[in-house]
Amino acid sequence: MQIRHQETGYLARSVDEWVAALSYLLRNREVARRLGSAARHHVQQKFLITRCLGDYLKIFRDLAI
């Protein structure tokens, strides 16, 4: 899963949960900043093409040995 509840964002199962989460983040800017930073870090570590290419290069190097 790409969103980790209360770590990189909020998961909502209903409109009411979505409204509550957004309202909370609007009232708690520091929490919103922390979630945003954690989400950015998560994407950089897991999903960026440069990260994936590095993993593939390591596999190819290991196979060549």
Q: What is the DSSP string of 2-65?
A: ---BTTTB---SSHHHHHHHHHHHHH-HHHHHHHHHHHHHHHHHHT-HHHHHHHHHHHHHHHH-
Q: For the beta carbon of residue 63, count every other beta carbon within 10 angstroms.
A: 7
| Per-residue pLDDT tens digits for 14-58 | 999 999 999 999 999 999 999 999 999 988 887 777 777 878 888
DSSP state of 1: -
> Against a cut of 0.85, is the pTM above it?
no
Determine the pLDDT at residue 36. Answer: 93
Q: How far is CA 17 from CA 23, 52, 58, 64, in A?
A: 10, 34, 42, 51
pLDDT band at 1 (very low <50, low <70, confident <90, very high): low
